[in-house]
Amino acid sequence: MNPAVTSAMVNREPLGPRFDTLDGKTIYMVDISWGGPDAARVVFEEMTAWFQQNMPTVKTVIKRKVGMYTQDDPQLWKEIAANGNAAIIGVSG
């Protein structure tokens, strides 16, 4: 096993601008299936409960990305672009 990277680095995309407020926004929480089938869901459910208690106007949507974390999921990205204002794409475990 050789840990040296032989491929070129990908182009980096800057983060989007911060919102002034999250009121009325929809946040997608995307489970990328890293760390097991329930690793991220537990964390995202806790985050959802926090939003419901502390910022009830924020809608959260938990989604599991299709395939492994290395695979693309164009349908999900389209859904988030059409229906969401922000996304937390994360790992847990």
Beta bridge partners of 63: 30
Give residue for tokens 């459910």: 45
Position 13 confidence tier, pLDDT thresholds 50, 70, 90: confident
> For 26-84, how does the pLDDT look when each residue is reduced to its tens digit (9 = 90+)?
999 999 877 777 778 888 999 999 999 999 999 999 999 988 778 899 999 999 999 99
How far is residue 75's CA from residue 93's CA, in Å, rounded to a whole number?
A: 25
What single-letter amino acid sits at 65?
K
CB atoms within 10 A of CB 55: 14
